[in-house]
């Protein structure tokens, strides 16, 4: 289980390079990986997903491509999946995740989305 004061225990963490990974699913297919790095965020589509007939982008702001997307801030699409207002305050207090730690909140709340995209800890990690 993740310890709020120790980033090395975050789901999807890799202590050696201080990056954190989350698997991004479109419906039930792994579409890509979202990574939090020291410089910001990266998103890359999974090659197997890109090769599928009828593959769809997870967002119009992240069209299908082989090259990774990079940003100093969490991509707007992923930020839009997060709760807001009183619900954000409630979840943050209940699970003891700083409400400014958007990546960890996304890992915690992203499994049960309203839409077709879900966020899960990367394979080989535990929550």
**Counted domains in the chain:** 1
The SS3 assignment for 119 reads strand
| Residue 51 lies in domain | 10-121
The answer to the question of residue 32 being in a domain is yes
Q: Checking DSSP bridges between strand 13-14 and strand 40-45, what pairing results, if any? A: unpaired
Opening angle at CA 52, ends 30 and 125, nearest 5: 15
Give the span between the Cα atoms of 120 and 90, in whole angstroms.
21
Query: pLDDT tens, position by position, for the chain (127 residues)?
Result: 444 444 444 444 444 446 799 999 999 999 999 999 999 999 999 999 999 999 999 999 999 999 999 999 999 999 999 999 999 999 999 999 999 999 999 999 988 877 899 999 987 544 4
* H or E stretch at 69: strand 69-71
The answer to the question of residue 68 being in a domain is yes
* pLDDT confidence of residue 8: 42
* pLDDT confidence of residue 119: 95
């Amino acid at each position: 289980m993740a310890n709020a004061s120790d980033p090395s225990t975050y789901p999807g963490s890799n202590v050696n390079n201080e990056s954190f990974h989350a698997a991004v699913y479109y419906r039930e297919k792994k579409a890509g990986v979202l990574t939090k790095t020291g410089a910001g965020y990266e998103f890359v589509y999974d090659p197997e997903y890109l090769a599928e007939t009828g593959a769809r982008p997870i967002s119009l702001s992240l069209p299908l491509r082989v090259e990774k997307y990079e940003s100093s801030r969490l991509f707007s699409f992923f930020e839009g999946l997060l709760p807001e207002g009183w619900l954000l305050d409630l979840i943050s207090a209940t699970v003891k995740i700083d409400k400014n730690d958007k990546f960890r909140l996304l890992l915690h709340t992203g499994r049960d989305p309203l839409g077709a995209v879900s966020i899960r800890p990367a394979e080989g990690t535990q929550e």
